[in-house]
Every structure is written in structure tokens, then in C-alpha cells.
Amino acid sequence: MARGRDATPAVEEVRLPAPGPGELRVRIRAAGLCHSDLAMVNGTLAPAYPLVLGHEATGVVAEAGPGSRLPVGTPVVLNWAPACRTCWHCRHGEPWLCAANTAPAVARGETAGGEPLHVTLGLGALAEEVVVPEHAAVPIPTGLPPEQAALLGCAVLTGTGAVRNTARVAAGESVAVIGLGGVGLAVLTAARRAGAGPILAVDVVEAKRDLALAAGATDFLLADDRLAKEVRARTEGRGVDHAFECVGRAATIRSAWRLTRRGGAVTVVGMGGNDDLLTLSALDVFHSARTLRSSVYGSSDPDREVPELAAALADRTLDLRPLVSGTIDLDEAPAAFGRLARGEGARWVVTFPD
């Protein structure tokens, strides 16, 4: 739990309400540590505190409120952006832009001392249990590795959707991915499954090389002043067809822009700060004919796509082991957030006993 901006997260006891009508109590089995959780405490976002972090998780329904349809014992992946299905965006096929999902935190429960408690993105999944609306729980098959299934709720859905839904990468197209956290590695995995090539992984940390190659990259490149030249050397001098920015900074968006061929597309997957302004030359925008767009939650419909990804994980056509840097106990999560901030590893996953 975080108690304020720049405060070190700590493990504390909290009190959750009983599930009301249409709500579920879910016992968490695994929850990933995501950069979006860091954004809740480093100033990128401005949620209310005290705040239970976590939004990428899998668990089992432990109690169902009145009117809920999912039975106790159902394994689920949590969806931090459940669609209302009634707003303009939902009715026009854009559930990832649902008007009901705009708050970084919502009030739910209280601390052990009786303070009103808030939970990240309506979930607060770095906890033994959560209470969530039923439509925020997507059923999945039994028997999936929980440390991998948890990633379906954010990193994998976001990365896969960016490739498949937003950019629509086709077989044989070239791809560059800047930023190799959990989402960036998921983009690499999805690009490989799409038949893209070459797939160029870019990061400032040399230690990410092996992770990138295991996830699907054909080449690993350091983000230095030779990067553009190295990319063009691997793409017949043109630049890539698709560049994915998975950091969320103006500087790396500009880098992605420079790596992309004329007529190519830059897809921004990373979430940046409000005061980090992006500047591009008006002449360059016209002359390059590139497309710049963002991918919010992978432009996905989790109710449909999480079960598809879960099925691929079950039949082993989707391997997410390269994305999991290690499993840890909840008590180790505060220190693991420090590793995440330093760019160490891909996804650190908190696991809980059955």
C-alpha cells in the first residue's frame, strides 16, 4: 500500500467490504508489478491515498454477492478497465476507451485504523483478496500457471493488442520495440507470433539482451547515438514499418519516430507524464507521411481477448515464461518496486499460497 507521492510502498492490514450485489470477493493467486503502479506514486498520476497498489492479477472467486453469476471456485483474470457497454465509445466498438474508466483509484474499504481506503484502477490487486464488480473478472481455464496468467490482465493484453489491434502488424513487416519491460517484451512476443521480421528490440540496459531474444526479438540494440544507423542497416536503409514505444517519454517517442520508414507507423504504448511535451517538425510530419498513434490497453476487448490468450497459454502456443523475471512474496514487493524503477528484469510477480 502507498500512503502518498514518493512514499515507499509498505505491506499493511486493511479491511475490505463484503461483496454487494453484482460483486465478487476474489482470492488473489498472483499479481504482477507494473510501471502503471509506479505511476501512482512517482507523480505521473495523482490518485487519492492511502492506496492499495496492483491491477494485473489472477485469482479464484471466493464469495459471490447477490445476483452474481460466477460460481465460487471460478479462476479469473482481473480486468482493470471493464467496459460499461452503454457509453458512446462502447456502443461504437471502442470498449478500451470506455467513459466509465477514467479514475486512477476508487474508494473501497478502509485501513486497519479506519481511514477510507482507495484501490488502484478499481482493483488494488497487490493483496491477498479483493472485492470487485463481477464484470471486472474474466473467467479462464483451470490449471494455468498463475504467474503467467496474471500477466494476461495487463502486460500481455496490452502488448498483444498493440501489435494485433492497433498497429495490425502483418507477416514480413519489420518492427522495432523501444523499452523492454513487461509490456515491451509482450510486444516482441506478439510480433513474433504475427510473423514479423526483423524484430528489433531496443533498451538502454545491455542486460535486457537475453530477455529480448527469448521473447521473440531477432536483434537487440542499445539505445545510443548509433541506434538509427543500426536500425537502417537492418532494414535496407529505410527504417522499420512499425515502431512501438513502450516507455512513455517524449524523448523515446521521438526516437521511435526517427527509426520508422516514410509511410510507417509509430505506436505509443507507454504512459507518459502530462508535463513531458512532444515536439515534431511540421515539415517532417508532412514529408515523412508517418502515422503516430497511441494504444490504450491494446485497443482490446478483454472479455473476448483474455479468454483467447488464456486458451493459447493452455495449449502452449503462447509461452510467457520469458516475461517473468521471478516470483516473490508480498513482503518482498516494496523492494521489487525499486528494481522495477531501475529497469531490472521484466515482470516481478507476487504469488500467494493456494
Bridge partners of residue 14, in order along the sequence: 111
CATH no. for residue 46? 3.90.180.10
Give the residue among 20, 22, 290, 24 at the shortest CA–CA distance from 176.
290
Q: Which residues contact 353 (CB under 8 A, 6 or more apart)?
A: none
C-alpha 26: how far from chain center = 20
Based on the fold, state whether residues 288 and 342 are members of the same structural domain: no
Residue 106 lies in a domain: yes
Distance separating alpha carbons of residues 246 and 256, to the nearest angstrom:
10
Let me know if residue 209 belongs to a domain.
yes
DSSP string, 44-106: SS---SSEE---EEEEEEEEE-TT--SPTT-EEEE-SS---S-SHHHHTT-GGG-TT---SEE
Task: Give the pLDDT score at 4.
Answer: 77
Q: What are phi and psi of 347, to 5 degrees?
A: -120, 125
pLDDT of 1 reads 78
Please indicate, yes or no, whether residues 93 and 207 belong to a single structural domain of this protein: no
Domain end (from 247, 273, 294): 294
Claim to verify: residue 209 and residue 290 sit in the same structural domain: yes
Quick check: is 3 in a domain? no
Query: Cell 477514467 maps to which residue?
Result: 102
Amino acid, res. 84 = C
257 with 274, same domain?
A: yes
Give the Cα separation of 165 and 253 in Å (integer). 20
Whether 161 is covered by a domain: the verdict is no
Is pLDDT at 198 greater than 90 in this prediction?
Answer: yes
- Are 180 and 211 contacting, i.e. CB atoms less than 8 angstroms apart? yes
* pLDDT class of 7 with cuts at 50, 70, 90: confident
214 and 289 in one domain?
Answer: yes
Residue 24 has pLDDT above 80, yes or no: yes
For position 180, which CATH number holds? 3.40.50.720
Residues 264 and 135 grouped into a single domain: no
Whether residue 5 is contained in a domain is answered as: no
Q: How confident is the model at residue 323 (pLDDT cuts 50, 70, 90)?
A: very high
Q: Does some domain include residue 2?
A: no
Q: Which of 277, 294, 311 is the last residue of a domain?
A: 294
Regarding whether 27 and 134 lie in a shared domain, the answer is yes
pLDDT value of position 284: 96
What is the number of domains present in the chain?
2
- pLDDT tens, position by position, 229-281: 999 999 999 999 999 999 999 999 999 999 999 999 999 999 988 899 999 99
Mean of the per-residue pLDDT values of the chain = 94
CB distance 245 to 179 below 8 Å: yes
pTM: 0.93
Domain boundary, last residue among 246, 265, 294: 294
Give Cα 93 distance to the centre of its chain: 21
d(CA 345, CA 85): 37
The whole-angstrom separation of Cα 9 and Cα 333 is 8
What number is the average pLDDT over the span 209-219? 95
Residues 188 and 267 in one domain: yes
* Cα angle 178, 184, 188; round to 5: 95
Domain that holds residue 272: 168-294
Same domain, 64 and 143: yes
The contacts of residue 26 (CB under 8 Å, 6+ apart) are 59, 60, 61, 62, 76, 78, 129, 130, 131, 132, 137
pLDDT digits (tens, 9 = 90+) for 76-90: 999 999 999 999 999
Same structural domain for residues 149 and 23?
yes
Q: Is residue 102 part of a domain?
A: yes
pLDDT band per the 50, 70, 90 thresholds, residue 43 = confident
Q: What b/e string do you get for 208-242 counting C-beta neighbours within 10 Å, with b at 16 or more?
A: bbebbbbbbbbbbbebeeebeebbbebbeeebbbb
254: helix, strand or coil:
helix
Q: Are 276 and 320 contained in the same domain? A: no
Say what the pLDDT of residue 75 is: 98
Distances (CA, A) of 58 to 48, 102, 137, 172, 225: 24, 22, 9, 34, 41
Average pLDDT over residues 199-227: 95
Provide the percentage of residues in the chain whose pLDDT is more than 70: 100
Place 2 in a pLDDT band, splitting at 50, 70 and 90: confident
Residue 244: inside a domain: yes
Residues in the chain: 354
First to last CA, the chain: 22
* pLDDT digits 0-9 by tens, 339-351: 888 888 888 999 9
Q: Are residues 253 and 330 in the same domain?
A: no
Contact indicator for 77, 93 with CB cutoff of 8 Å: no
